Structure 1
Amino acid sequence: MNDAHLHLVVNHFPIIGTIFGLGILIAGLVLKNNSVKNTAYIVLIVAAIFAFLSMYTGDGAEEMVEDMPNIGKQIIHEHEELAEKLALLLYATGIFSLASLYTSIKNHKFSKFTSYITLVLALGAAVLGSSVGTSGGEIRHTEIRDNTLNSAVENGNFQSESTTDKNEE
């Protein structure tokens, strides 16, 4: 297994784990159920661990694909910048999830406070994770890039029906 393959294996869980963790945490807060909240904290901690693994494997993946046709260093750089911000946010979410888990288990008076901080961080990570996932997908899936049609037209790779009809006559 090479670095690009490893990156593809681990890079989905920080985003998906954060979304699941956020949903579970919201359910735990609404139901006022510590067991459900504790489950959410564990999922968010695991998402933070996978964020580290994604960052660790990202450089190797970059080296393997940056010179491939239709990819380029700029799109990878944009993804990397967003991923670094997400990783920092997920590390903070993981740390507050640990604190929330500890305060919940100990029935500490700050339990509710740390829960809400964890909720806000997880919400921010879920929103940013969407952008990171999209920018990562755009690296190899050119069809989802916003400028695909514009690039095709500018490069002469796109023919409209009227152009095709004229060529056939």
Structure 2
Amino acid sequence: MNDAHLHMVVNHFPIIGTILGAGILLAGILFKNNTVKNVAYVLFVVAAVFAAVSMATGEGAEEMVEDMPTVGHDIIHEHEEIAEKLALSLYVLGVVSLFGLYANIKKISQAKLAAILTLVISVIAIYFAQLTGTTGGEIRHTEIRDNATGAEATTNAASETKTDHED
């Protein structure tokens, strides 16, 4: 398994894990259930770990695809810049989640504040996750780019169909 393949395997969890974690945390806050909040905190920590792995494999993935037709350096650079913001927000989210987990377990008075702060940070992270996922998808899926033409989309779809039949 090369870096590009590993990157494709791990890069979805930081996005999906953050979205799921935010929903679970919101439910935990609304229902005043610390166990549910703790599940969200663990999801956020795992998302941060996967973000680190995704960042570590991103350079290798970039090297493998940047010279491919219809890819280019600019689109990868845009994805990389946004992914760095996502990673930073997830690292902060992971640290705050560890504090929230600790506060819930030890029944510290700041536990409620930690939950609210974690939820706010998770919303920020979801914003960057959406941008990161979109720019990452645009690297190989020219049909979802803002500047896509019908010819590019048709050519890309035809090449993907051909590849699917070759498997």
- TM-score, normalising length: structure 1: 0.88
Which residue number in structure 1 is paired with residue 137 of structure 2? Answer: 137
Question: In the alignment, does 2:47 pair up with 1:47?
Answer: yes
Q: Which residue of 2 aligns with 1:164?
A: none
Equivalence for 1:28: 28
Matches for 1:59-138 after TM superposition, within 5 Å = 59-138=59-138
Distance 1:121 1:151, change over 3 A: farther
Aligned equivalents of 1:114, 1:35: Cα separation in 2: 14
* Deviation sequence 1:44-75 (CA, Å, 0-9, x none): 10000000000000000000000000000000
- Runs of 4 or more, structure 1, over 4 Å off, are none
Cα distance in 1, alignment partners of residues 121 and 150 from structure 2: 36
Structure 2 unaligned spans of 5+: 156-167
- In structure 1, list runs of 5 or more residues that go unmatched: 158-169
CA-based RMSD: 1.3
| Per-residue deviation, 1:149 | 1.9
Query: Residue type matched to 2:140 in 1?
Result: R
Q: Deviations over 1:86-135 (max 9, x none)?
A: 00000000000000000010000110111111110011101110010000
What's 2:162 paired with?
A: none
The number of residues matched between the two structures is: 153
C-alpha displacement of 1:151: 8.8
- Larger Rg over CA atoms: 1
Aligned match of 1:14 = 14
SS of equivalent to 1:148: coil
Q: TM-score, normalised by structure 2?
A: 0.89
Q: Percent same amino acid at aligned positions? A: 61
Q: SS of the counterpart of 2:149?
A: helix
1:9-67 deviation per Cα after TM superposition (whole angstroms, max 9, x unaligned):
00000000000000000000000000000000000100000000000000000000000
Q: 1:38 and 1:16 mapped to 2: Cα distance?
A: 17
